[in-house]
Structures are given as structure tokens and as C-alpha cells.
């Protein structure tokens, strides 16, 4: 047997053991790594606000605490509004359940010529074995739900703790990272960090502002129509429509339409019309102005990133997918070299004069003109020449070769323009 064979076998077994140990450790730490990733993106999102407060004299730790306090208050308010709406709907449903049951029993008796009564149904339901088993299973399920709620709270506290340290100790973290890199690499790392902060924070802030505007607009409509739970529905529409791409608008508009339908079917139609009209206003006027300095992600890319993030990390992946893609797109725009595209109909398509109707409408609303720009200097010279008559034109021609040569200078005005 060759001498190298035992060593090779021992090395192979050691590599297999290390791989198995690493796989086991990674599997056990997957939850923690996901929490750290979420905390990192949350720290990137609040970094501009924290840096602004620190630049104006506030300690970085205190600034981070103020920002996180605002985030927690906003999240708690959102959950409280939705919880109050859901609790109110459940209470109304429980109070009206006997009426619904009586109407169903009356319909059954009339249709099938039976003699059912609500008292008999209640007695048979109370003394049934199915109800007792259901109550026992529900008692066991309450313990499972309590454990899941406690686990979710612990996970939330973990994310908040890591994100607080990432945001409060951002400069120290960057110094520690740059201390192990050569100067050239340090500049690249700091540039990448700046791009990530700029694009992630800018994207989330622009979405938050559009969510606020959307919520206020829909709140005014719902109050005008006297739809119940208007504040909760407005917050729901603002958040869901902005942070779920492509289909978020329709998901957000479905709930207020359903609640409005319970008041008056025509109200649901008015809500639908308002949602569609506001979406066009947002897409073609509001969003281009608010996202002019942030990453403008194509709707198909945004939707695909959310689907991929959901498949990888579930609901958490759906939340951080768009900021991650925005950062990646910014990296590609900063480091990938681009070239001019050839003027070919197969690339640009067949262009219509003046552009698409929606683009022309947008330019008209902005006060832009689509015609060929006019040279104001040449127009003024032509008017002066007409006013001076033939003698003035001849004098200008004679003065051209000498002195300041105004003739050639006027002729080159197009080049300067």
C-alpha cells in the first residue's frame, strides 16, 4: 500500500467531517443570519436620518434611539389601527350572527318544508362530541400560538438590537472593516457602503412619503363616503400599495371596496374609480418626481425580486427584496461600463412623432414643449436686419472682415447654442 494513501484517507475523512460540521452549524444559525441580514438593511435605511441628526450636534446613539422610537411608534400605530378594525368586524359579526342564523333557518324551512329551530340547533351543537374535541384541540393550539408569539417577539427584539448597533456604531464598524484592507480597497468599500446607504434609504423614504400621500388621499375619500374604519383602511392602502409591487395596489384597494360595499354598493364603485385614477396620477406625475434621485426599478424586476425573496426567506424576503435589488442595481450602474446603443429600429422600436400619448401628456402637464428649439439670438439678429434695411445689411457685410469681425461671430452663434 502506498504511503500517501493513509494520509489521503485521513485528509478526506477530515474534510468530510469539517463539511458536515459546517453544514450543521449553518443550518442551526440560519435564523440568526437572516435576522442579522434584516437588521443590516434596516440600519442602512435609517442611516441617513441618524447621520443628519449626528451632523447637527446630537450624539449618534441618541439619534439612533430617536429614529428607532419613531419606527416602533409607527409600527405599533399601524398594528393598533388594523387590530381595532378587525376586532370591530368580529364583534359586529358575533352580534349579528343570530340574525343570520335565523334567516338561514327560515330559508331552509321554506325551501325544504322542514321545521328547524335555532334552539334545537344550539342544543345539538352544545352536546355534540365534535364540539368537545374542537375545544380540546383549541386549548392545545393556544399553547402553540403563545409559543409562536413569544418566538416572534424575541426575533423582533433581536433584529432591533442588531440594527441599533449597526446604525449607532456605523463609523466604528466601517473603521474595523477598512483596517484589514489596503488603501485602494478601502476606498472601494466605502464607496459601496455609501451607494448601499443612499439607494436603500432613498428608496424606502420615497416609498414612505408616497404611502403617506396615498393614505391621506384615500382617507379623505373614505371620510367623504362615510365608510367605517377610515383611518385603518387609509393606512392599509398606503402601506400595502407602496411596499408590495405591481399587485399591491389591487390588494390594498380590495379591502376598502369590500367595506364600502357593506355600506352601499355604489360606494364600492366610487372607491374602485378613485383607486384607478389615483394610481395613474401616482405613476405618471408623483412617482417620477419623488424617485428622481433614487433607484427606479422596473415593475417586472420588482415583482420578480419579491417572488424570489419570498421563495428564499418567506415574508421577510419579500420585505427586503426590493431594497436589495435597488442596491444591486446601483452597484451595477456604478461599476459596469455602458456604451451608446446603435440607432436601429430593432433596438428602439418604431418611434412616433412626439412620443407616446402618455409621455406627451406628462410633458404638457410639466410645461415642457416638444417642438424644435428656437435660436433666440438668430431671431433677434434677423429682426434687427429687417429693421435696418438694405443699408444696415450692407454695413454689416463691410464690417465683417475688420475689427471684431461681427459677421463671422454672428454666423457661429449656432455652434455656441
409591487: which residue's cell? 245
Higher pLDDT pick, 22 / 376: 22
| Chain centroid, CA 404 distance in Å | 60
The whole-number pLDDT of residue 406 equals 44
Instruction: Name which of 76-85, 132-141, 190-199, 391-400 the model is least confident about.
Output: 391-400
Q: Is the pLDDT of residue 334 over 50?
A: yes
Confidence of residue 356 (pLDDT cuts 50, 70, 90): low
Answer with the one of 180, 206, 224 that is the final residue of a domain: 180
Answer with the one of 180, 207, 240 that is the final residue of a domain: 180
Give yes or no: residues 57 and 171 share one domain: yes
Question: In terms of Cα–Cα distance, which of 226, 142, 199 is closest to 324?
Answer: 199
Answer with the one of 133, 163, 180 that is the final residue of a domain: 180
| Cα→Cα distances 371→167, 353, 364, Å | 50, 10, 12
Instruction: Name which of 1-15, 143-157, 391-405 the model is least confident about.
Output: 391-405
Q: Is the pLDDT of residue 293 over 50?
A: yes
On whether residue 381 sits in a domain, the answer given is no
Give yes or no: residues 161 and 261 share one domain: no
The whole-number pLDDT of residue 411 equals 42
> Residue 216 class from Cβ within 10 Å (0-12 exposed, 13-18 middle, 19+ buried)?
exposed
Dihedrals φ, ψ of 246, to 5°?
65, -65
Give yes or no: residues 198 and 239 share one domain: yes
Q: What three-state secondary structure class fits 371?
A: coil
Confidence of residue 8 (pLDDT cuts 50, 70, 90): confident
On whether residue 396 sits in a domain, the answer given is no
Higher pLDDT pick, 141 / 265: 265
Percent of the chain predicted with pLDDT > 90: 17
For 229, other C-beta atoms within 10 Å of its C-beta total 19
Higher pLDDT pick, 8 / 411: 8
Q: Is the pLDDT of residue 54 over 80?
A: yes
Domain count along the chain: 2
Confidence of residue 259 (pLDDT cuts 50, 70, 90): confident
On whether residue 96 sits in a domain, the answer given is yes
Q: 178-194 as b/e, with b when 16 or more CB fall inside 10 Å?
A: beeeeeeebeeeeeebe
Can you give the pTM of this predicted structure? 0.63
Higher pLDDT pick, 296 / 125: 125
Once rounded to an integer, what is the mean pLDDT over residues 365-381?
50
| Cα–Cα distance, 217 to 249 (Å, whole number) | 14
Question: In terms of Cα–Cα distance, which of 184, 185, 187 is closest to 195?
Answer: 187
On whether residue 377 sits in a domain, the answer given is no
The whole-number pLDDT of residue 367 equals 64
Percent of the chain predicted with pLDDT > 70: 78
Question: In terms of Cα–Cα distance, which of 180, 177, 189, 156 is closest to 42?
Answer: 156
The whole-number pLDDT of residue 164 equals 93
The whole-number pLDDT of residue 296 equals 63
On whether residue 28 sits in a domain, the answer given is yes
Give yes or no: residues 174 and 258 share one domain: no
Q: Is the pLDDT of residue 67 over 50?
A: yes
Mention every residue, 6+ apart, whose C-beta is less than 8 A from residue 407: 396, 397, 399, 400, 401
On whether residue 154 sits in a domain, the answer given is yes
Q: What mean pLDDT value characterizes the chain?
A: 78
The whole-number pLDDT of residue 149 equals 83
The whole-number pLDDT of residue 18 equals 94
Give yes or no: residues 249 and 276 share one domain: yes
DSSP result, 374-405: P-HHHHHHHHHHHHHHHHHHHHHHHHSSSTT-
On whether residue 392 sits in a domain, the answer given is no
Mention every residue, 6+ apart, whose C-beta is less than 8 A from residue 208: 242
Give yes or no: residues 332 and 291 share one domain: yes
Higher pLDDT pick, 164 / 394: 164
The whole-number pLDDT of residue 398 equals 42
Give yes or no: residues 175 and 199 share one domain: no
| Cα–Cα distance, 249 to 96 (Å, whole number) | 31
Q: Is the pLDDT of residue 359 over 70?
A: no
Q: Is the pLDDT of residue 234 over 50?
A: yes
Give yes or no: residues 191 and 284 share one domain: yes
| Cα–Cα distance, 215 to 239 (Å, whole number) | 8
Reported as a single tens digit per residue, the pLDDT across 196-233 is 888 777 778 888 888 899 999 999 999 999 988 888 88
Confidence of residue 292 (pLDDT cuts 50, 70, 90): low
Q: What three-state secondary structure class fits 413?
A: helix
Give yes or no: residues 216 and 323 share one domain: yes
Mention every residue, 6+ apart, whose C-beta is less than 8 A from residue 148: none
For 388, other C-beta atoms within 10 Å of its C-beta total 13
Cell, residue 362: 406628462
Give yes or no: residues 317 and 303 share one domain: yes
Give yes or no: residues 192 and 293 share one domain: yes
| Chain centroid, CA 54 distance in Å | 26
| Residue 271 lies in domain | 185-336+355-369
For 3, other C-beta atoms within 10 Å of its C-beta total 7
Give yes or no: residues 302 and 282 share one domain: yes
Q: Is the pLDDT of residue 388 over 90?
A: no
Q: Is the pLDDT of residue 163 over 50?
A: yes
On whether residue 388 sits in a domain, the answer given is no
Give me the helices (H) in 244-339, please.
248-263, 265-281, 287-290, 299-313, 315-335
Confidence of residue 139 (pLDDT cuts 50, 70, 90): low
Reported as a single tens digit per residue, the pLDDT across 142-160 is 677 788 888 888 988 998 9
Give me the helices (H) in 169-298, please.
170-178, 183-224, 230-243, 248-263, 265-281, 287-290
Reported as a single tens digit per residue, the pLDDT across 74-116 is 888 888 877 887 787 778 777 877 887 788 888 888 888 888 7
Amino acid at each position: 500500500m502506498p504511503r500517501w494513501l493513509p494520509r489521503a484517507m485521513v485528509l478526506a475523512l477530515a474534510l468530510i467531517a469539517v463539511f458536515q460540521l459546517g453544514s450543521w452549524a449553518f443550518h442551526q444559525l440560519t435564523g440568526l443570519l437572516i435576522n442579522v441580514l434584516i437588521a443590516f438593511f434596516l440600519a442602512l435605511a435609517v442611516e441617513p436620518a441618524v447621520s443628519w441628526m449626528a451632523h447637527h450636534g446630537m450624539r449618534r446613539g441618541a439619534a439612533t434611539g430617536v429614529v428607532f422610537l419613531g419606527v416602533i411608534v409607527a409600527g405599533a400605530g399601524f398594528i393598533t389601527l388594523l387590530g381595532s378594525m378587525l376586532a370591530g368586524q368580529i364583534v359586529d359579526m358575533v352580534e349579528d350572527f343570530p340574525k343570520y342564523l335565523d334567516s338561514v333557518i327560515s330559508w331552509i324551512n321554506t325551501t325544504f318544508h322542514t321545521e328547524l329551530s335555532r334552539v334545537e340547533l344550539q342544543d345539538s351543537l352544545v352536546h355534540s362530541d365534535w364540539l368537545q374535541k374542537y375545544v380540546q384541540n383549541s386549548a392545545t393550539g393556544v399553547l402553540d400560538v403563545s409559543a409562536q408569539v413569544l418566538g416572534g417577539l424575541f426575533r423582533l427584539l433581536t433584529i432591533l438590537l442588531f440594527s441599533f448597533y449597526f446604525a449607532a456604531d456605523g463609523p466604528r464598524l466601517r473603521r474595523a472593516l477598512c483596517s484589514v484592507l489596503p488603501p485602494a480597497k478601502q476606498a472601494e468599500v466605502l464607496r459601496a457602503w455609501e451607494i448601499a446607504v443612499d439607494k436603500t434609504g432613498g428608496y424606502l423614504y420615497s416609498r414612505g412619503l408616497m404611502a403617506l400621500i396615498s393614505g391621506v388621499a384615500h382617507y379623505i375619500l373614505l371620510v367623504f363616503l362615510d365608510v367605517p374604519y377610515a383611518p385603518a383602511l387609509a393606512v392599509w392602502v398606503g402601506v400595502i400599495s407602496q411596499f408590495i409591487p405591481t399587485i399591491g395596489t389591487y390588494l390594498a384597494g380590495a379591502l376598502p371596496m369590500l367595506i364600502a360595499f357593506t355600506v352601499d354598493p355604489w360606494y364600492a364603485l366610487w372607491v374602485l374609480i378613485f383607486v384607478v385614477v389615483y394610481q395613474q396620477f401616482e405613476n405618471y406625475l408623483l412617482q417620477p418626481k419623488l424617485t428622481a434621485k433614487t433607484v427606479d426599478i422596473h415593475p417586472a424586476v420588482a415583482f420578480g425580486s419579491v417572488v424570489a425573496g419570498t421563495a428564499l426567506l418567506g415574508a421577510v424576503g419579500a420585505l427586503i427584496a426590493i431594497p436589495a435589488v435597488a442596491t444591486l442595481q446601483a452597484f451595477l450602474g456604478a461599476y459596469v461600463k455602458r456604451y451608446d446603443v446603435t440607432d436601429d429600429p430593432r433596438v428602439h422600436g418604431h418611434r412616433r412623432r412626439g412620443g407616446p400619448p402618455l409621455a406627451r401628456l406628462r410633458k404638457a402637464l410639466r410645461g415642457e414643449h416638444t417642438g424644435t428649439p428656437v435660436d433666440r439670438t438668430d431671431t433677434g439678429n434677423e429682426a434687427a436686419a429687417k429693421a435696418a434695411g438694405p443699408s444696415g445689411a450692407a454695413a454689416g457685410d463691410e464690417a465683417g472682415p475688420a475689427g471684431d469681425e461681427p459677421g463671422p461671430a454672428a454666423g457661429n452663434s449656432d455652434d455656441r447654442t
